[in-house]
A and B are shown apart, each in its own frame.
Chain A
């Protein structure tokens, strides 16, 4: 009872404290309304005083007590003026408590609340993101219509804030503003659209929430963000995951065609659906005979799977319903295990999960059958849990397990929880009707229960037996007799009514007993329950019709009693029956048919699960739990017959670029076209002007704030992004490691970084790349690539010409690679070519859908920064030269390999007129030299490009590097891997091409290495380090494919690494250029088998 605030009070002053103490007591245990009221008044007075005081501690105390009042649900509104003054308090706790107060009472005191607004407006500009965010939070929580424009402005600004935390709060504020003033919908949708593009995992959940609230029908806003959301999903916080998964479930049902095919003959409408589907297929050539899942559909299913392992029951349930509603039926099985796991949780979770399982188990028994025993009931379970478990057990019952189940039911019937026992009897009845083999067993079991001591059990048994007998009336005279005897003892009305009905229905089978029963009933007709009375009347009528000799008088007696009954239903029924059965002048034609009417064959009742039709509600929703449509429930649409255009989900490059610019500002100022054109120019100029110093020590690695760069040049902004991504890479690694999609793991990219650093100086042939890895790519991608290539084939030539513009992958990577040419900002640490894992994931996500024709040159996956010495400074009299292969298509000629040469002046004098002379090239080889360099300052360094056509051979290009005074003979010998350009192609194309390059054109070898070297990321890393090849998306975990073409002749070079059992693998190379092929094989082999 003694609160913290009470403790403070004691210190704040003697007399006051005691008084407060009393009040604190009264706050907690209200004694009498009157006394309380008066003390409230007094208290409020001194609270006001405390709030006016200039001591923070007094104010804080006052605020704490006020919050206490609010918590109790007491009215503290009259303190509003005193409290609102403190909104600008320096003390952060006072401020927070004032916020609490303000949000609670602003609606009631709108005018006064306006006084506080300017404080928030100021706080919205605060440099501290926490303050900005909380100001926005409170401002948007004040439900005062007059400030709507201010809120709108604040939200707009916050949506473009640099801090993702503030943007998250902006997303929350959208919903608040919308509920305050729905008129603002259109403008809010604009903000939502913008925030949906946000790449931060903080924002994703909140903005989707806002989307669901404000414009759930604007599914078009999701298209472009679909893949991003799928890829981010694993990393979003758990609550956001639930919201996103539910939204994506709805999305999938509108955008993809049904994957439920072969196993779906059950439902008629589904069948029709497929028939029409077939017709459809004939018409449209896009659709193939066998169903192929849209890769985006697969992406969603694949990326949600790990979330089944979440600790959060809501997430698991969300994934479960997603699988239930959108995955192929054969795959939905994996959810059962996780759902069964949730049954260990607290009773509320159990309750919801069991309800959902009950619905599922009706349609697909097989899913939960292996877990049958997990639904066994414990005596300690709450009744509601017990009945749900029983429901599921009934649904799962079949010929095979029914005997086990019946034994289990026997225990339940004896339970002390009679409600549960009764439910069990119902269950036994249902099993008996569903499974004909056990009907008799069940029936005799139930008959045994008729002698049970407990009346509820007996009554329930009677009711169930009645239903069972109705199905096979002929054979059970004995049971009916037995039940007739029960009438003497049993008192439960339903049971008595059931027995009477049964006797009436079978009165011709028990001709001796029936009239006697009627006699007994007539005796105490008046004392019976209404339900029983109605059945007595029925029985009388039936007997009158079949056996009027014995029962005429009795029936008339009963009819007379009924005529004056207190209940009008009974009076009604009496009159009706009398008219029908007792022939008189008035009764007309109907009485002729009385017998037919009363003794008609009645259909047996169907004993069905109460969960039978619940599945028309989306699982896991409130509506499903309540079995009625809740307010705001969004229907799950039926699958479309023809999938809407899948290309709407394709993301253009700019999207990606934007996502990598950290701030909202940068996005705005980079309109797509400008960005492109500039970057291309930039690329050209940086190549040709060839004056870079990328290897030097110009560590421009300042992480200066993001916003400023973008305007001056796109090159800057791209390198900015670059660095950003590098600096984030630790965090990225975190994410990547958990990521489901094909990403590299942590150790991997770290390794790469390390390698990059090393390779500047040492000649590390990446031996250290043993790393912790992540496995990648699920088996599904095969179908993806197939469908993709079928549906979106683009001609080869066109593709090659336009690749720079069209292929996002290409574009993005080349943007990043600009860094290598960039004379100004090339960082020494060279984090660049190693794409951050998440970027790769995104790129691959994109790659799934973007067009890929048979041979289209893509950009290098990886550019090793390994440099080779061209001229040592000792032998070059102070002039040092290094070269490396930039792996870019050469700008000087299609058939040339691009080589970057970095020249360093290590002397203390200028070196003048550096140029190339006396090329001694083997036949056919050509070389494009750089323009002479007029002078190189001491300590200066410059990078130039040359192009060499090696004619697809590893022959040496020799030439002289000359200065004003000296000439030095140097030569460049290309590693075979550099004579290639990566090619993007689909797995299908790869296989096709490979099929044409067999026999002589195929070389292969077996590799033996430790298993950790055979993880996908390690293999990828090693291969692309050695050779400039492109990665081919693979549908199998154990096969890795790479494709490239030779620079000179453009012949295909296909590399396959096929993992075998144990620690062996097969390396296969298919190419027309057999010489290069075998050289490459020889180079790759040791690298791959290295630890």
Chain B
């Protein structure tokens, strides 16, 4: 008896209201009814976030991801590493994002033919075939308004008729024959601070997660090396496949032939062993009175270790307890909203000016008779600091080999709050 059909058998795309709006089968057809098991699981889970990614049904296994308000549900028949499927589904979603600018139901429906062509190329018999964006774009051109007009007149198509050379070469991530009049290479060093701050303001946990995103528009086959002033800071790094691992191991230099366009070069972590500078502090006093239908809410935000840069784009989000009916608050700066249904308070603060610290004060109306909330809600804080990598990481230089021209180079640093939570 053959153990039939490994890997991904079928894919269903399902929107939030439970409509299956696209299906694709790589092997024989699996009925839509298999999704009923998924809906069942979805119902059981309180919210979308809690739908288990792996569901077992009598004849199949369903592995799903939730992205941009859509479920990508794949049908599997036999043993397969679940991460393999999950990672692939995310790659599919990334590709849609890349092609259509957004990964939404409308975009997918509008481009259903391209979606189908993409899925056809990305998977053969359930096994990934071409997943590199550079290759796919040579096989199937992304839609543009101009091209669809031209195509409809000339009858020409979005489908390339030559095999992308990249697919055959050892640099499968780069397409051949790239030409630009302006040769540019930009790098964004983006660091996010993940932190949990406890009631008293001390740091329970903090670490820095960083990525370097690149936008490379260079002609020909450039060979780049990017070096850092202080590479030892990077505790744990993951690489785009283009990076030569050995160079990094021996010299801590990122040496690579880049893909064309936008891509993530590395992600890294600066370990929690290093002290992480926390750029903001929050003073808070939230209290609910026993046997009374109101409480007090008062928070103030101030800058802490901000390396002399302005902290901007501050937003505070609070999931208030269920018993909260409404909130009457006055911000000294920015504006706030409270959604009485989801109980989410959002305060859009903006910039911090050290002279006058922004604060938000006022009364909380509680459901009368209900017991007072056990715990004060956590504050989730977002902020941004331009031109600063909080870890102190600095790019030393970028060299290009293999091509004659002089590219324009640029590096930008940003620090953001990642999962930044203040317990109150």
> What residues of chain A have their CB less than 8 Å away from a CB belonging to chain B?
1-5, 7-8, 11, 28, 55-57, 60, 64, 67-68, 70-73, 91-94, 96-97, 99-100, 104, 107, 128-130, 133, 137, 140-141, 143, 163-165, 169, 172-173, 175-176, 178-179, 182, 201-202, 206, 209, 212-213, 234-235, 237-239, 242, 246, 306, 309-314, 316-318, 337-338, 340-341, 344, 346-349, 351-353, 373-374, 376, 378-380, 382-384, 408, 411, 414-416, 452-454, 620-623, 625-626, 628, 630-634, 731-732, 734-735, 737-740, 745, 772-775, 1015
B-chain residues with CB within 8 Å of residue A772 when the two chains form the complex: 247, 255
Interface contacts beyond A72-B23, A349-B86: sample of 6 additional A-B pairs, CB < 8 Å, sorted by A? A57-B152, A67-B113, A314-B84, A632-B3, A737-B246, A740-B245
Q: Is B88 part of the contact surface with A, judged by Cβ < 8 Å?
A: yes
- A91 near B155: Cβ-Cβ < 8 Å: yes
Q: Please report the C-alpha to C-alpha distance between residue A1015 and residue B251 in the assembled complex, in whole angstroms.
A: 11
A-B contact pairs, 25 of them (CB 8 A): A1-B110, A56-B155, A72-B23, A92-B157, A94-B157, A96-B159, A97-B117, A100-B117, A234-B245, A309-B237, A309-B245, A337-B235, A341-B267, A348-B86, A351-B53, A373-B205, A379-B319, A379-B378, A380-B380, A384-B52, A414-B375, A416-B322, A622-B79, A631-B3, A731-B171
Residue of B nearest to A57 (CB): B155
Q: Is B40 part of the contact surface with A, judged by Cβ < 8 Å?
A: no
> What residues of chain B have their CB less than 8 Å away from a CB belonging to chain A?
1-7, 20-25, 27-29, 32, 46-47, 49-50, 52-54, 56, 61, 64-67, 76-84, 86-88, 90, 106, 109-113, 115-117, 120, 124-125, 127-129, 131, 143, 148, 152-153, 155, 157-159, 161-163, 167-172, 194, 196, 198, 204-205, 207, 209, 235-241, 243-247, 249-250, 255, 257, 264, 267, 269, 272, 319, 321-322, 371, 373-375, 377-378, 380, 419, 421, 423
- A633 near B109: Cβ-Cβ < 8 Å: no
- A774 near B246: Cβ-Cβ < 8 Å: yes
Per DSSP, are chain B's interface residues mostly helix, strand or loop, or mixed?
Answer: mixed
A-chain residues with CB within 8 Å of residue B167 when the two chains form the complex: 165, 202
Instruction: Using A164-B168, A352-B53 as known contacts, say yes or no to A620 and B116 having CB atoms under 8 A apart.
Output: no
Residue of B nearest to A64 (CB): B113
A-chain residues with CB within 8 Å of residue B80 when the two chains form the complex: 621-622
Contact of B124 among A2, A5, A172, A246 (CB under 8 A): A172
B-chain residues with CB within 8 Å of residue A143 when the two chains form the complex: 28
Q: Please report the C-alpha to C-alpha distance between residue A216 and residue B333 in the assembled complex, in whole angstroms.
A: 66
Q: Please report the C-alpha to C-alpha distance between residue A1052 and residue B272 in the assembled complex, in whole angstroms.
A: 54
- B196 near A348: Cβ-Cβ < 8 Å: no
Q: Please report the C-alpha to C-alpha distance between residue A71 and residue B249 in the assembled complex, in whole angstroms.
A: 47
Q: Please report the C-alpha to C-alpha distance between residue A774 and residue B109 in the assembled complex, in whole angstroms.
A: 49
Q: Please report the C-alpha to C-alpha distance between residue A73 and residue B421 in the assembled complex, in whole angstroms.
A: 45
Residue of B nearest to A183 (CB): B2
- A774 near B250: Cβ-Cβ < 8 Å: yes
- B155 near A55: Cβ-Cβ < 8 Å: yes
Contact of B170 among A67, A353, A735 (CB under 8 A): A735
Instruction: Using A60-B155, A73-B20, A312-B87 as known contacts, say yes or no to A235 and B170 having CB atoms under 8 A apart.
Output: yes
Residue of B nearest to A2 (CB): B110
- B79 near A71: Cβ-Cβ < 8 Å: no
Instruction: Using A67-B116, A380-B419 as known contacts, say yes or no to A310 and B109 having CB atoms under 8 A apart.
Output: no
Taking the closest CB of chain A, its distance from the CB of B226, in whole angstroms, is: 14
A-chain residues with CB within 8 Å of residue B117 when the two chains form the complex: 96-97, 100
- A737 near B170: Cβ-Cβ < 8 Å: no
Instruction: Using A310-B241, A735-B170 as known contacts, say yes or no to A773 and B250 having CB atoms under 8 A apart.
Output: yes
B-chain residues with CB within 8 Å of residue A408 when the two chains form the complex: 204
Taking the closest CB of chain A, its distance from the CB of B44, in whole angstroms, is: 12
Q: Please report the C-alpha to C-alpha distance between residue A64 and residue B4 in the assembled complex, in whole angstroms.
A: 31
B-chain residues with CB within 8 Å of residue A164 when the two chains form the complex: 168
- B4 near A179: Cβ-Cβ < 8 Å: yes
B-chain residues with CB within 8 Å of residue A235 when the two chains form the complex: 170
- A734 near B22: Cβ-Cβ < 8 Å: no
Contact of A338 among B124, B207, B236, B421 (CB under 8 A): B236
Q: Please report the C-alpha to C-alpha distance between residue A432 and residue B50 in the assembled complex, in whole angstroms.
A: 29
Residue of B nearest to A632 (CB): B78
Instruction: Using A209-B127, A212-B6 as known contacts, say yes or no to A4 and B163 having CB atoms under 8 A apart.
Output: no
Q: Please report the C-alpha to C-alpha distance between residue A96 and residue B321 in the assembled complex, in whole angstroms.
A: 55
A-chain residues with CB within 8 Å of residue B56 when the two chains form the complex: 626, 628, 630
- A71 near B246: Cβ-Cβ < 8 Å: no
Q: Please report the C-alpha to C-alpha distance between residue A1070 and residue B120 in the assembled complex, in whole angstroms.
A: 64
Residue of A nearest to B114 (CB): A4
B-chain residues with CB within 8 Å of residue A318 when the two chains form the complex: 81
Instruction: Using A4-B143, A56-B155 as known contacts, say yes or no to A107 and B125 having CB atoms under 8 A apart.
Output: no
Taking the closest CB of chain B, its distance from the CB of A10, in whole angstroms, is: 9
Q: Please report the C-alpha to C-alpha distance between residue A318 and residue B87 in the assembled complex, in whole angstroms.
A: 13
B-chain residues with CB within 8 Å of residue A414 when the two chains form the complex: 374-375
- B319 near A68: Cβ-Cβ < 8 Å: no
- A71 near B24: Cβ-Cβ < 8 Å: yes
Taking the closest CB of chain A, its distance from the CB of B235, in whole angstroms, is: 8
Taking the closest CB of chain B, its distance from the CB of A284, in whole angstroms, is: 37
A-chain residues with CB within 8 Å of residue B267 when the two chains form the complex: 311, 341, 344
Q: Please report the C-alpha to C-alpha distance between residue A11 and residue B155 in the assembled complex, in whole angstroms.
A: 12
- B110 near A3: Cβ-Cβ < 8 Å: yes
- A382 near B246: Cβ-Cβ < 8 Å: no
Contact of A313 among B47, B87, B373 (CB under 8 A): B87
Q: Please report the C-alpha to C-alpha distance between residue A73 and residue B21 in the assembled complex, in whole angstroms.
A: 8
Instruction: Using A4-B148, A71-B24 as known contacts, say yes or no to A622 and B419 having CB atoms under 8 A apart.
Output: no
Taking the closest CB of chain B, its distance from the CB of A607, in whole angstroms, is: 24
Contact of A242 among B84, B131, B245, B421 (CB under 8 A): B84
Residue of A nearest to B257 (CB): A734
Interface centre among A202, A234, A734, A1015 (most CB of B within 10 A): A734
A-chain residues with CB within 8 Å of residue B54 when the two chains form the complex: 351-352, 622, 625-626
Q: Please report the C-alpha to C-alpha distance between residue A176 and residue B27 in the assembled complex, in whole angstroms.
A: 9
Instruction: Using A378-B196, A380-B419 as known contacts, say yes or no to A416 and B109 having CB atoms under 8 A apart.
Output: no
B-chain residues with CB within 8 Å of residue A96 when the two chains form the complex: 117, 120, 159
Q: Please report the C-alpha to C-alpha distance between residue A237 and residue B171 in the assembled complex, in whole angstroms.
A: 10
- A379 near B421: Cβ-Cβ < 8 Å: yes
Instruction: Using A133-B163, A311-B264, A349-B86 as known contacts, say yes or no to A71 and B116 having CB atoms under 8 A apart.
Output: yes
Contact of B238 among A73, A309, A631, A775 (CB under 8 A): A309
- B76 near A622: Cβ-Cβ < 8 Å: yes
Taking the closest CB of chain A, its distance from the CB of B299, in whole angstroms, is: 16
B-chain residues with CB within 8 Å of residue A97 when the two chains form the complex: 113, 117
B-chain residues with CB within 8 Å of residue A306 when the two chains form the complex: 245, 249
Instruction: Using A212-B6, A739-B246, A775-B249 as known contacts, say yes or no to A344 and B170 having CB atoms under 8 A apart.
Output: no
Instruction: Using A5-B113, A176-B125, A734-B170 as known contacts, say yes or no to A310 and B239 having CB atoms under 8 A apart.
Output: yes
Taking the closest CB of chain A, its distance from the CB of B366, in whole angstroms, is: 14
Taking the closest CB of chain B, its distance from the CB of A884, in whole angstroms, is: 32
A-chain residues with CB within 8 Å of residue B241 when the two chains form the complex: 237-238, 310-311
Taking the closest CB of chain A, its distance from the CB of B110, in whole angstroms, is: 5
Contact of B23 among A64, A71, A373 (CB under 8 A): A71
Contact of B81 among A314, A376, A634 (CB under 8 A): A314
A-chain residues with CB within 8 Å of residue B7 when the two chains form the complex: 209
Taking the closest CB of chain A, its distance from the CB of B333, in whole angstroms, is: 25
Interface centre among A128, A415, A731, A738 (most CB of B within 10 A): A738
Instruction: Using A130-B161, A452-B374 as known contacts, say yes or no to A239 and B236 having CB atoms under 8 A apart.
Output: no
- A71 near B125: Cβ-Cβ < 8 Å: no
Q: Please report the C-alpha to C-alpha distance between residue A592 and residue B228 in the assembled complex, in whole angstroms.
A: 84
Taking the closest CB of chain A, its distance from the CB of B290, in whole angstroms, is: 11
B-chain residues with CB within 8 Å of residue A169 when the two chains form the complex: 124
Taking the closest CB of chain B, its distance from the CB of A1005, in whole angstroms, is: 26
Taking the closest CB of chain A, its distance from the CB of B122, in whole angstroms, is: 10
B-chain residues with CB within 8 Å of residue A734 when the two chains form the complex: 170-171, 244, 257
B-chain residues with CB within 8 Å of residue A202 when the two chains form the complex: 167-168
- A8 near B161: Cβ-Cβ < 8 Å: no
Instruction: Using A318-B81, A632-B79 as known contacts, say yes or no to A7 and B148 having CB atoms under 8 A apart.
Output: yes
- B143 near A239: Cβ-Cβ < 8 Å: no
- A775 near B246: Cβ-Cβ < 8 Å: yes
